[in-house]
């Protein structure tokens, strides 16, 4: 079961300082809206999101239906199918996707060390 494109969403204190730092590491702005305090940056296949004042801690993010360039895949496992699969394995959810819908949805689980994992389907 393919969980989709991976990125890490970083809770940053100063978006401009973080942007400048990651640019020095070779990352370039790929998306986002700086005036809204969020940017998506990319270096090769590596994607990071910088989010100022949006959440309290870093989040591992997976996007079913997208490749690492945010391009829609022809075939992918719908988030609701993945959610049912995880529930059957006893995974507890912080938030859940509405299984009576189609299209964009998300859910959040917390790993054993307290790291939030967002699975966020945009298609």
The beta strand positions in 1-123, using DSSP E, are 5-12, 28-33, 38-43, 46-52, 59-63, 93-95, 105-110, 116-121
> What class, spelled out in words, does domain 5-121 have in CATH?
alpha beta
Residues in the chain predicted with pLDDT less than 50, given as ranges, are none
Residue 1's pLDDT is what?
79
Answering whether pTM is above 0.75, one says yes
Tens digits of per-residue pLDDT, 59-73?
Answer: 999 999 999 999 999
Residue 18: helix, strand or coil by DSSP?
helix
């Amino acid at each position: 079961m393919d969980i989709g494109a991976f990125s890490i969403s970083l809770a940053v204190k100063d978006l401009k300082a973080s942007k400048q730092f990651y640019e020095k590491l070779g990352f370039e702005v790929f998306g986002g809206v700086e005036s809204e305090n969020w940017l998506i940056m990319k270096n090769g296949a590596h994607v990071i999101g910088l989010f100022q004042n949006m959440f309290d801690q870093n989040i591992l993010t997976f996007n079913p239906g997208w490749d690492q360039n945010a391009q829609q895949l022809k075939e992918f496992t719908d988030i609701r199918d993945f959610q049912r699969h995880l529930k059957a394995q006893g995974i507890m959810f912080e938030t859940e996707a509405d299984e009576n819908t189609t299209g964009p949805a998300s859910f959040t689980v917390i790993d054993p060390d307290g790291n939030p994992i967002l699975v966020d389907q945009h298609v």
